[in-house]
Structure 1
Amino acid sequence: MPADFQNDLILVTCANGKQCSQLIPFLLPRWKRLRLAVKSESSRQTLLEKYGPTWQSNLVSNVEVVSADLALPDDCKRICEGVMAVYHVGPGFHPRETEIGYNMIDAAESHGVSHFIYSSVLHPSLRKLMNHDCKRYVEEYLIESGLPYTILQPSHFMDMFPIQKLLSEEDPTYIARWDPDVKFSYTSLHDLGDAATRILEQREEHFWATYQMVSTSLPMGYREVCELASKVMGKEIRVETMPFQKTMEGEGEAEGMLGLPPGEHERDGIQRMLLYYEYRGLVASTNVMRWILGREPTNWDDWIRGKMREEGR
Structure 2
Amino acid sequence: MILVTGSGGGVGRAVLRELHGRGEKVRAFVKDEKQAAGARADGANDVVIGDIRSAADVLTATTDVRRLFHIHPTSLVHEVSIAEHIVAACRANGVEHVVYHSVIHPEIEKMFHHQEKGRVEEVFRRSGIASTNLRASHFMQNYLDFWEFVQGGVLPYPTSPNSVMGVVDAEDVSEVAANILTVPEGHEGQTYDLSSHELDRHEMARIWSDVLGHRVSAVRLPPASLQNPLRGAGALATVVVKSLLSTRIQAPRQVIRGLAQSSNARGIRNWPQDSRDCYEGMMNYYDKNGLPAGDMTVLPKLLSRPATTYREFAVREAERRGVRRA
Question: Normalising by structure 2, what TM-score?
Answer: 0.84
1:156 counterpart (138, 148, 161) = 138
1:206 counterpart (187, 191, 195) = 187
State the partner residue of 2:246.
Answer: none
1:231 counterpart (190, 210, 213) = 210
C-alpha distance in structure 2 between counterparts of 1:15 and 1:262, whole Å:
18
Report the AA paired with residue 152 of structure 1. L
Q: What displacement does 1:167 show? A: 5.5
1:10 counterpart (2, 5, 16) = 2
Structure 2's unaligned 5+ residue stretches are 231-258
Contact 1:247/1:254 (<8 A) preserved: no
C-alpha distance in structure 2 between counterparts of 1:78 and 1:176, whole Å:
39
State the partner residue of 1:301.
Answer: 311
Q: What displacement does 1:133 show? A: 1.7
State the partner residue of 1:88.
Answer: 70
2:148 counterpart (158, 165, 168) = 165
Structure 1's unaligned 5+ residue stretches are 1-8, 56-62
State the partner residue of 1:34.
Answer: 26
Q: What displacement does 1:164 show? A: 3.8
What does residue range 50-65 of structure 1 map to in structure 2 within 5 Å?
A: 50-51=41-42, 63-65=45-47
What does residue range 275-294 of structure 1 map to in structure 2 within 5 Å?
A: 275-283=284-292, 284-294=294-304
Contact 2:149/2:156 (<8 A) preserved: no
State the partner residue of 2:265.
Answer: 257
Alpha carbon RMSD of aligned pairs, Å? 1.9
Change beyond 3 A, Cα 1:302–1:241:
same
Q: What displacement does 1:306 show? A: 1.2
2:158 counterpart (177, 180, 205) = 177
Q: What displacement does 1:43 show? A: 1.5
Contact 1:71/1:96 (<8 A) preserved: no
Report the AA paired with residue 291 of structure 1. K
Instruction: After superposition, give the CA deviation of every residue in 1:157-179 in whole Å (9 maximum; x if it has no partner).
Output: 1112237424643xx11223111
2:280 counterpart (271, 292, 301) = 271
What does residue range 95-244 of structure 1 map to in structure 2 within 5 Å?
A: 95-162=77-144, 164-166=147-149, 168-169=151-152, 172-214=153-195, 216-217=196-197, 219-244=198-223
Q: What displacement does 1:100 show? A: 1.1
Q: What displacement does 1:15 show? A: 0.6
C-alpha distance in structure 1 between counterparts of 2:264 and 2:158, whole Å:
12
1:246 aligns with 2:225: yes
The structure that is helix-richer by fraction is 2
C-alpha distance in structure 2 between counterparts of 1:307 and 1:72, whole Å:
36
State the partner residue of 1:3.
Answer: none
Identity between Structure 1 and Structure 2 (%): 24
Q: What displacement does 1:254 show? A: 5.7
Of residues 242-251 and 274-283 in structure 1, the stretch that sits farther from structure 2 once superposed is: 242-251
Question: Normalising by structure 1, what TM-score?
Answer: 0.87
2:60 counterpart (78, 85, 91) = 78
